[in-house]
Amino acid sequence: MKRLVLLSVLYLITEYCHAQQDALMGTYQLNQLFFNPSYAGVNDITSFDVHYRSQWGNLKGAPRTMLFSGTTSLVDNQVGLGVSVQHDNIGVIEKTDINLGLAYKIKLDSTYSVSFGLQGGVNALNYNFGKLNADDPSDEDFIFSGQSYSKPNFGTGIFLSSKNFYLGLSAPRLLKVTDNLDGGNSQRYSRQLYVSSGLVIDKVQAVKLKAWTLVRYSADTPLSFDLGASVLMLDAVWAGLYTRSFNTVGLNVFFMAEGGIRLGYSGELATNSLAPTSFSTHEITLGYDLSLFAKQVPKVRYY
């Protein structure tokens, strides 16, 4: 049994390091800035969000993600500004992405708006081999403590939205990132494309239903997608279920308190045979909405 668990863990970490180049967040329902720069300012409000994700919770060296983001709208809510800082840690690998985004929103009619966004930033990686427990400490492969590097990158996106609907398309990283860690020219980041969409049905005043999806595509990895449905009760509590490529099942809950404070939780369990279900994933988020500039008005957040 221990051997099976070990093999499963090695498989998961290998897949994470070579395929999961962007963190798989679960509480992005009210914050899509980290994968779509055109989301900046889309809600005509100033927002700050902090996320923490613990993946495969009881496994030493498992992925941990911290994310901070802030966004606001300016110039009669036509211009959006956004900043995001994301730090991932898995085993000996530490990854930090810092991005600044700019979006411009055009009103199509009384219902729909479309935003175009650009972002620029830095991708930084650090390999800390000092964390490894080598059988032979004198092994030349472990004598040096690590390697780090940082490289610039750029991204773009588009976001079509109305009060009850959104459709986003984005490529947050347009440049491939390579290093020579293994003596060659290995690719560590590839271009990844995101498609997000959601629809809110509000036929009943006290209860609203939301169906949503997020699709991730990269030429180097299998297609990944999230499918979910949530219920908004009394404009204060979102609760929903989702699946990620039918390999996990997840629950997310958001509480929207008076004064613009938002608190969210997401929990996931693996459903495929390669991942022991004891390796649960948990994520929490804290957000704050406020009116800092002209024409910013607090409202119930659907996305």
Residue given tokens 């941990």 in the structure block = 64
CA distances from 75 to 46, 96, 105 (A): 13, 31, 10
Structure tokens at 12: 């998961």
What is the per-residue pLDDT for 10? Answer: 43
At 23-71, the pLDDT tens digits run 788 899 999 999 999 999 999 999 999 999 998 776 777 889 999 999 9
CA distances from 119 to 35, 40, 173, 183, 273 (A): 10, 10, 9, 31, 39
Structure tokens at 18: 């070579």
What is the per-residue pLDDT for 185? Answer: 61
Mean pLDDT of residues grouped by 10 in the chain (303 residues)?
Answer: 44 46 85 97 97 82 91 96 94 90 97 98 84 60 67 96 98 81 63 96 92 93 94 96 93 93 94 62 96 90 93
Whether the CB-CB separation of 179 and 188 falls below 8 Å is answered with yes
Question: Model-level pTM?
Answer: 0.86
Give the C-alpha separation, 272 to 243, whole Å. 12
Give the C-alpha separation, 206 to 129, whole Å. 54
Give the C-alpha separation, 133 to 137, whole Å. 8
Give the C-alpha separation, 96 to 38, whole Å. 21
Please, which residues have CB within 8 angstroms of residue 226's CB and are 6 or more apart in sequence?
A: 212, 213, 214, 215, 242, 243, 244, 245
Give the count of alpha carbons within 13 A of 218, CB side only.
20
What is the per-residue pLDDT for 63? Answer: 86
What is the per-residue pLDDT for 271? Answer: 83
Q: Is 214 helix (H, G, I), strand (E, B) or coil?
A: strand
What is the per-residue pLDDT for 303? Answer: 94
Question: CATH assignment of 2-290?
Answer: 2.40.160.40
Structure tokens at 200: 């809110």
